[in-house]
Structure 1
Amino acid sequence: MARIEPLTVDQLSEQARKDLEYSEKLMGFIPNDVLTMARWPAFLSATKHLVDVVYAPGELDSGLKRMIATVVSSAAGCVYCQAHTSHGAVKMAGADAEKVAHVWEFETSPLFSDGERAALSLAMAAGSQPNGATDAHFVELKKHFSQTQIMEIMGMIALFGLLNRWNDTLQTELEPVPLSFVKENDAKNV
């Protein structure tokens, strides 16, 4: 059970309803974390703006962005965000379902390129406590990604640092859509 009760849709302000519509479009369902954040409208607005910036089309592949979020969420131990991001990688970003299902084997699986391995390795290290990111991670990243792409990788890691702490601490209840996706895909990570 969530430690702070989410608002119902009927309880939302007009702006929070717009933010919820945006989130529903981005994710394909109504996320409980948005309903909880709506209790603090300024925080919800600020978080939505950060999500807008980080998820905006850029130089980095959208599917890779979401796999980075899945790995960083796993390292942080946030089951809620792991389910959301693995679902979103396949259903919303069009990532290869087999690749997402094997994201935990990124270091050895032939499904992943060296660049993807570098990005996912940093995500795992950065999501861990204490932070395990090293100079070697960035040496490897620079072999495969532009400075802008590295900033996009860092944006996903930072965004999910916030979302992981929020959802894991509040024990946000996982919605049926991502939960069903995880069960259907026999995800080992959630």
Structure 2
Amino acid sequence: MSRVSIKTRDDLPEALRPLWDKMTTYGAFENQAGVMAHRLPIFKHMWSLLVDLASEGLVSKRHLELALVTVSLLNKCDYCVSHHAPKLAVQGVSEEGAARLVDYKDHPELDERDKLVVEYSIAVTNNWNKTRDEIFARLRAHFSEAEIVELTWRIALCGAFNRFNDILQLEVEQGVPHSEAAE
């Protein structure tokens, strides 16, 4: 059970209800949004950012979901793995493949670019202060600088969401298949 009560759309001021409605098009994140709604600036700015990036994002959905699932596996966030592994399946990576992303080097479902995204996600999550220029040379061969910035931001933000969701013990919403974030 969540350590903080979960607010609903009806608890929001009228002006923020359209954002809640947009949020639901992003996925079944009502528990996360409902907890964020305790602080309206957090709800407003986080969900505005997420829905804007969903509609205007430069990074492909496949690469985004590869990054988010990788980070969530590393941080053992069941909530995020449960929400993003199905989105990754839509992008062509099986449930079994998603579960073993951190073992990316010989992953049969990933191409060179996919493996680079996973490697970079691991670097940003675990080795941000020891990452060498070499990986950026490889990133530049596949991504624009704007895409690198967006990918980096989404990876770092996912780590923050992992911590937020886990410390507050957010439960996966009904109807979302529960996935374990075991490595």
Instruction: Give TM class, smaller chain.
Output: 0.7 to 0.9
Query: In 2, distance between residues paired with 1:140 and 1:18?
Result: 41
Pairs within 5 Å for 1:65-104: 65-90=64-89, 94-98=90-94, 101-103=96-98, 104=101
Query: In 2, distance between residues paired with 1:125 and 1:87?
Result: 24
Paired amino acid for 1:156: R
Query: In 2, distance between residues paired with 1:168 and 1:136?
Result: 33
Judged with a 3 Å threshold, the aligned counterparts in structure 2 of structure 1 residues 168 and 141 are, in CA distance, closer, same or farther, namely same
Query: In 1, distance between residues paired with 2:77 and 2:65?
Result: 14
The unaligned stretches of length 5 or more in structure 1 are: none
Query: In 2, distance between residues paired with 1:112 and 1:164?
Result: 24
SS at match of 1:35: helix
Deviations 1:78-131, CA, capped at 9 Å, x for gaps? 2211211112333xxx31142x53132432123211111111111122223776
Query: In 2, distance between residues paired with 1:20 and 1:35?
Result: 9
Deviation at 1:154, TM superposition (A): 1.0
Preserved contact between residue 89 and residue 95 of structure 1 (Cα < 8 Å): yes
Size of the aligned set, in residue pairs, is 180
Paired amino acid for 2:78: V
Paired amino acid for 2:55: A
The unaligned stretches of length 5 or more in structure 2 are: none
Query: In 2, distance between residues paired with 1:111 and 1:117?
Result: 10
Aligned sequence identity (%):
23
Paired residue for 1:144?
142
Deviating above 6 A after TM superposition, structure 1's stretches of 4 or more consecutive aligned residues are none
Paired residue for 1:13?
13
Query: In 1, distance between residues paired with 2:134 and 2:57?
Result: 25
SS at match of 2:171: coil
Judged with a 3 Å threshold, the aligned counterparts in structure 2 of structure 1 residues 177 and 89 are, in CA distance, closer, same or farther, namely farther
SS at match of 1:106: coil
CA RMSD of aligned residues (A): 2.4
SS at match of 2:176: helix
Preserved contact between residue 82 and residue 189 of structure 1 (Cα < 8 Å): no
SS at match of 2:175: helix
Query: In 2, distance between residues paired with 1:38 and 1:141?
Result: 36
TM-score of the superposition, structure 2-length normalised?
0.84
Query: In 2, distance between residues paired with 1:137 and 1:80?
Result: 29
